[in-house]
Amino acid sequence: MTGIAKGGPVRMCAGCRGRAGKAELIRVVARNGVGVVDEAQTAPGRGVYLHPRPDCLEQAVKRRSMGRLLRAEIDGARTAEALRVHLDALT
């Protein structure tokens, strides 16, 4: 498998459902009803991981997997917009 860190933690992308090393993914946590990026990957609570690619974000939004995986009610539109801004800043 490509993209998997040898010996490090492996997580699944909520969008494409591919596996990758934790350091290669963006962690999203629920805060005040919105999914926000956890840059340090240390925030308490449940987290969802995404590849830093727009297509993975779109797949996660389409499937509504972030709220389900976070086990929290989140505003999908506001979360998607915040994550799009974050992804744009990375490129």
3-state DSSP call for residue 4? coil
Closest listed residue to residue 31, CA positions, set 81, 64, 75, 88 = 75
Tokens of 3: 């993209």
Write the pLDDT tens digit of every residue in 37-68: 999 999 999 999 999 999 999 999 999 999 99
* 1 pLDDT more than 50: no
Q: Average pLDDT, whole number, for the chain?
A: 92
* Average pLDDT of the segment spanning 76-91: 93
**Number of alpha carbons in the 13 Å side-chain half-sphere of residue 32:** 3
Cα–Cα distance, 82 to 29 (Å, whole number): 12
* Average pLDDT of the segment spanning 12-36: 96
Cα–Cα distance, 28 to 19 (Å, whole number): 16
